[in-house]
Amino acid sequence: MDEPAPARVIPVILCGGAGTRLWPLSRLDRPKPFVSVDGGATLLQETARRVGDPAQFAPPLIVVSEDFGDIAAAQLNQAGIGGARFILEPAARGTAPAIATAALESGADDLLLVLPSDHVVKDGAAFRAAIETATAAAREGWLVTFGVRPERPETGYGYILAGEMVAPGALRVERFVEKPDAATAARYLADGHYLWNSGIFLFGAQPLLTALRDHAPYILPEAEAALAAGHREDGRIRPEASRFARSPSQSIDHAVMEKSGRVAVVPVDMGWSDVGSWEALHAVADLDADGNALAGDVVMIDSQGSLVRSEGPLVVGVGVRDMVIVATERSVLIVPRGESQRVKEAVEALVRRGLEPPAELTDGEKGP
């Protein structure tokens, strides 16, 4: 908070996430934010464009590993997003240190719209309307999350139990709940008060810093020290590596959201997916009459319910049912759609065999 600025909504776009879940489209050396799932703009570019209206948003603040700072900058430039700043993380420490650093780099009265960079939101207008709703609550000091109304008994997401209304369109968060089993997920769906935890947040910089001091006092000192010892150049902020690395690894959910009494949720229907698996991508894709989501040089004959895409060879399927098939110039993945979360096993096997770069495999702690 070096220089106070007029209050505004700053998109804080988190470019974490590894390359395992959407392998081989994403790879350890080409993480998910930097790939396109529909052959057009990348997930990062779509995220930035979604909050790119200068009438509603300030230029974005991108939090990204220093390894991928250049690719992030190049993609934003290509997408015509001007004025972006970058926090280049020297190590992965989860979302709490990342957001703390972003809050310290913002004005006390600024509102921070925290966005994962690798989600799909099909209805951008609904999303922006929800942000307007959340902005009013955030200005009253609420830490606001966005809760997606469930469309199916999904076991891959965390849920939020919503209570009474505390501001127009915003409900008190009674409880965050972990990923449920199938029976529990069905109960949540029927109940109507449970929402998917989107991992998208809106809060004032000052209320967030206060909550961090109250509930996770070990986070802020390291972030402040790393910024003080770091340096800035051309909108690139480089926290000092050894201090930054001393921060514990923690999600903002665990550090603050699950502990504060001032947490609200804005329910929204916006065609959202965290694209956490090929199955999740199929669920939000535009399907043809056979229930297939096809992209690239693909010819399917008498095939149903499959996601098939190529950015390399011609892919030809005959009699294929409910499969995921993804081809790049150098790799081809085949897995039954319902088992697509097992792609991680495959990438781990490839790393063991030296067929993928032996980089960090996990997504870090991203919260529930």
| DSSP structure class, residue 191 | H
Beta bridge partners of 64: 15, 88
Name the residue nearer to its own copies (CB basis): 271 or 296.
296
Q: How far is the CB of 276 from its own copies (least distance, A)?
A: 16
Q: How far is the CB of 181 from its own copies (least distance, A)?
A: 21
Binding mask of the shown chain, residues 78 to 117, with x at each position contacting its own copies by CB under 8 A: ----------------------------------------
Binding mask of the shown chain, residues 257 to 276, with x at each position contacting its own copies by CB under 8 A: --------------------
How distant, in Å, are the alpha carbons of 39, 123, 279, 302, 308 from that of 292?
16, 21, 12, 11, 8
Name the residue nearer to its own copies (CB basis): 3 or 329.
329
Binding to its own copies in span 281-340, by CB under 8 A: 299, 301-302, 310, 312-320, 323, 325, 327-336, 339
Q: How many residues bind its own copies (CB under 8 A)?
A: 35
Q: How far is the CB of 336 from its own copies (least distance, A)?
A: 5
Q: How far is the CB of 18 from its own copies (least distance, A)?
A: 17
List the one residue out of 276, 274, 135, 107 whose CA is nearest residue 201: 135
Q: Can you give 201-266 as a three-state secondary structure string?
A: EEEEHHHHHHHHHHHCCCCHHHHHHHHHHCEEECCEEECCHHHHHCCCCCCHHHHHHCCCCCEEEE
Q: Does the protein bind its own copies through residue 24 (CB under 8 A)?
A: yes
- Cα distance between residue 65 and residue 68, in whole Å: 6
Name the residue nearer to its own copies (CB basis): 37 or 325.
325
Q: How far is the CB of 33 from its own copies (least distance, A)?
A: 22
Task: Provide the token pair at 115.
Answer: 């966005």
How distant, in Å, are the alpha carbons of 101, 109, 248 from that of 10?
13, 11, 25
Q: Does the protein bind its own copies through residue 165 (CB under 8 A)?
A: no
Q: How far is the CB of 302 from its own copies (least distance, A)?
A: 8
CB 42 within 8 A of CB 71: no
Neighbours of 80 (CB within 10 A): 10
Beta bridge partners of 301: 318
Name the residue nearer to its own copies (CB basis): 2 or 329.
329
Name the residue nearer to its own copies (CB basis): 152 or 353.
353
Strands 111-116 and 272-273: unpaired
Q: How far is the CB of 351 from its own copies (least distance, A)?
A: 11
Cβ partners under 8 Å of residue 80, min gap 6: none
CB 359 within 8 A of CB 29: yes
Name the residue nearer to its own copies (CB basis): 166 or 333.
333
Name the residue nearer to its own copies (CB basis): 183 or 332.
332
Q: Which residue spans within 8-97 are E strands per DSSP?
A: 9-15, 61-65, 85-89
Binding mask of the shown chain, residues 332 to 361, with x at each position contacting its own copies by CB under 8 A: xxxxx--x--xx-xx--xx--x-x------
- Cα distance between residue 310 and residue 167, in whole Å: 47
Name the residue nearer to its own copies (CB basis): 349 or 359.
349
Name the residue nearer to its own copies (CB basis): 82 or 313.
313
Q: Does the protein bind its own copies through residue 152 (CB under 8 A)?
A: no
Binding site for its own copies (CB under 8 A): 24, 299, 301-302, 310, 312-320, 323, 325, 327-336, 339, 342-343, 345-346, 349-350, 353, 355
